[in-house]
Structure 1
Amino acid sequence: MNFRFGQKSLFSTSSRQNNALRALVYHKNGNPAEVMRAQTFEPLGKPGPSQVRVKLLLSPINPADINVIEGVYPDAPILRSDLVPKAGASSSLGYDREKPVFVGGNEAIGVVTDAGTAVQEFKAGDRVIFDKSQLGAWATYQNLEAAQLAKVDEDISDVAAATMRINPPTALLMLRSFTTLQPGDWIIQNGANSAVGQAVIQIAAALGVNTINLVRNRPDINNLMIRLHALGATRVLTYNELADKAMKQEVKKWTNGKSIKLGLNCVGGKDTTTMTGYLGKDAHLVSYGAMSKSPISLPTSYFIFKNLTCHGYWQSKWYNDHSKADRLGVYAEIMDLIRQKKVSYAARVTEP
């Protein structure tokens, strides 16, 4: 889901607010429904010499955003003691408004409305995304360091831009960081209908790589399979079908006996154990999530006789370990894929 911040929304940016800052905030971790509140703050001062003011237009809600608020994610925003509640404004939850707060949200698309005297790389009207994690996306505007931002091309839609920093790069970099995939190769992934999973399908298809995509059974499974095939999925299976002993022979027919070189896991638990059994020799299992909240248990034989290698992947770590030029290069690749219609989005936009 994405929130669009418009003049008719909860996060009004109209002149009637006199540039007051409106944000979704919390001052302690917990259930988002209990600790989050919408709050109006006094206007921020002009951006400093190295800062720009960014009017935030659209921001997604990712599962990790919820985990951050719950306090179970190894990344968190800074506590904002600089935000002053606007006099006479009420919050949507009745607790101490005077405490420093965290501003929720990790990704957003915005437009520069003002720039500090030392800023040369941005000007008013430039569209930008965050180039640093946990800057506080669920707000009407922010004053941010210019070094924390990256420019977005004008032909990239707001929805695509607001969601291009985490999920598509995760898919792209997992596909190329652990093994060399050639056209005609095969990979297998669970959680295939997740945002990352759908990006994997599309990027792999653009590379000529075949995908076996695993999803939970559900009443509308046929419609889901149709949607994933439309994105470029080679095969789609439920976990129940995967567990059928006869399926391994069927998969060998699909691949013409070619080994599956890469497995992508965002689920964990027994379904991941079953999926890993389909990997060939010298394959790589990459885990980037644990939606089932269950550990992965793998037979020792996979490591001894198949030389399986297991990895963890976290996009935030990749960004921290790489230079600004590397990060901008990845954003450019994603924008090219979007521009060529090799990666598309079907997001639901909510005006709160």
Structure 2
Amino acid sequence: MLLRKSLLSKPACCCRSLTSRAIVYSEHGDPAKVLEVHNYELPKPQDDELLVRFLASPINPADLNQIEGVYPKRPAFTDKFKTPRPAAVGGNEGLVEVIGTGKQHMSMKWQLGQWAIMRRTTFGTWRTHALAKEDDLLPVKAEGLSPVDVATVSINPCTAYRMLQDFAKLQKGSWWVQNGANSAVGQSAIQMGRIWGYKSLNIIRDRPGSDEVKQQLLDLGATLVITETQLSDKDFMKQLKREHFQDEPVTLALNCVGGVNAINMCRQLTEGAHIVTYGAMAKQPLKIPASMLIFKDFCFHGFWVSPWNDRHPDERQEMLEVIFDWMWEGQFRSPAAKLNWWEPGQSDAEALAVFRGALENKSQKQVLCIDY
């Protein structure tokens, strides 16, 4: 994924105070209504601080759930942004460049120009600049990769990686199945499954352009792609299994939809399979028939990558290095994204319009890119 040359070639600045522009909110509610642009002065970094500028910050569903007040982990409202009311900066995922350091960080690890991603969520990434402590950031070596590739790696690809590795004992040639296959996690899982030699059955929504979506997923490495309607057709599924599965077991399902769709997907699994739920896009409960527990011995799990990252910092670092290696080798690419630019000279109203346009565009992943 290419970015503007200016974003990739800006020199780091000296330690100085500057103004940061941010997307903030002072109450929970509809993101389209409660988000606003706010500018605030950043002082020079203290001895133990780093001054960073954001290069790219994704807009993820969990970010919006935080703003709505329905997500378990939410940033606290604070006075430090000098807003009329205590506020929080939105966004959890992003890539920064170090442009200034306090005296304690004038070292090889934190040289000017060093790239880093967020070590944990709730930092607030929808802004141009920030002061950070060393513990807030995870330095990355990503020469040759675009800022968007690096900015989007820590949540969706890592979620896919862990779900494919940690629940069922898949081997080369093993089958697995997922719904929401066109999601960012779904596209990541397809590519990782291809790299590891797994075979995948992928389920997408019935909608205009579904044939094009199918081909895109097949190009990423999907083995089979079907629609929700086809999944619910018993005769179709019997024929599909007869032609492609040849009685091979299907022992892992990744669920981000829920409701009837998820149960129909579970019906394709073999005894002792694992079902991992990481989302609920249909906003419907997962009503599990007793037969799936008693006679099929299915194991149902939930997965949330944020606490996993907190508990496994070393394994997280190893995982990121593997994914970056795949990117360098051309085996893995980040899902297609719409880039929404903040540029010098934009008014607050123009900057807010750019962000609201990203919120309204639900056809693909959205990323806020900073050209400051």
TM-score, normalized by length of structure 1? 0.89
Q: Deviations over 1:149-169 (max 9, x none)?
A: 112222221111110000000
The answer (yes or no) to whether the contact 2:17–2:43 under 8 Å persists in 1 is no
How do residues 174-185 of structure 1 correspond to structure 2 at under 5 angstroms?
Answer: 174-185=163-174
Q: What residue is the counterpart of 1:128 in the other structure?
A: 116
Q: Which residue of 1 aligns with 2:19?
A: 20
Partner Cα distance (2:117, 2:152) in 1? 9
Equivalent residue number for residue 115 of structure 1: 101
Residue correspondence of structure 1 range 232-311 to structure 2 within 5 A: 232-249=221-238, 250-311=240-301
Match of 1:139 among 127, 134, 141: 127
Question: 1:300-322 deviations in whole A, cap 9, x for unaligned?
Answer: 11111111000000001201222
Amino acid at match of 1:300: A
Give 1:79 deviation, angstroms: 2.3
Deviates more, 1:230-239 or 1:339-348: 339-348
**1:179-201, Cα deviation, whole Å (9 max, x unpaired):** 11111100000000000000010
Q: Which structure 2 residue ranges, 5 or more long, are not aligned?
A: 342-353, 355-372
Tell me: CA distance 1:144–1:252, structure 2 relative to 1, closer, same or farther (3 Å): farther
From 99, 102, 111, the counterpart of 2:85: 99
Q: Which amino acid aligns with 2:85?
A: K
State the percentage of identical aligned residues: 37
Match among 63, 73, 76 for residue 75 of structure 1: 73
Are residues 50 and 326 of structure 1, via their aligned partners in 2, closer, same or farther at CA, if it must alter by over 3 Å? farther
Query: Which residue is 2:150 aligned to?
Result: 161
Distance 1:243 1:160 in 2: 36
Residue of structure 2 aligned with 1:59, choices 29, 50, 57: 57
CA separation in 2, counterparts of 1:326 and 1:147?
Answer: 17
In structure 2, the residue corresponding to 1:118 is in which secondary structure? helix
The residue type paired with residue 81 of structure 1 is D
In 1, the alpha carbon distance for the partners of 2:63 and 2:207 equals 26
Distance 1:288 1:50 in 2: 37
Preserved contact between residue 252 and residue 258 of structure 1 (Cα < 8 Å): no
CA distance in 2, matches of 1:158, 1:26: 26
1:190-245 CA distance string (max 9 Å, x none): 00000000001000011110110001111111111111101111000001001111
Counterpart of 1:348 in structure 2 is 338
In the alignment, the residues of structure 2 paired with residue 118 and residue 326 of structure 1 have an alpha-carbon distance, to the nearest angstrom, of: 27
Q: Deviations over 1:10-31 (max 9, x none)?
A: xxx999x972111000011000
Residues 190 and 313 (structure 1 numbering): CA distance in 2 closer, same or farther, change over 3 Å? same
User: Partners in 2 of 1:18 and 1:317 — Cα distance?
Assistant: 34
Q: Equivalent residue for 1:93?
A: none
**Aligned with 2:45 (options 36, 44, 47):** 47
Which contiguous aligned blocks of 4+ residues in structure 1 show a shift greater than 4 angstroms? none
Distance 1:327 1:21, change over 3 A: same
2: CA distance between counterparts of 1:313 and 1:48?
Answer: 38
Q: Greater shift after overlay, 283-292 or 299-308?
A: 299-308
CA distance in 2, matches of 1:311, 1:342: 29
- Aligned amino acid, residue 100 of structure 2: D
Q: Which amino acid aligns with 2:101?
A: A
Give how far 1:327 is off.
2.1
Q: 2:130 and 2:72 mapped to 1: Cα distance?
A: 23
Give how far 1:247 is off.
Answer: 2.8
Contact 2:230 2:237 (8 Å CA) reproduced: no
Distance in 2 of aligned mates of 1:116 and 1:18? 13
Paired AA for residue 226 in structure 2: L
Q: Normalized against structure 2, the TM-score is what? A: 0.85
1:293-346 deviation per Cα after TM superposition (whole angstroms, max 9, x unaligned): 100112111111111000000001201222x32221121122112112222122
Q: How many residues align?
A: 329
Residue 315 of structure 1 aligns to which amino acid in structure 2? Answer: V
- Distance change in 2, residues 1:37/1:191 (3 Å): same
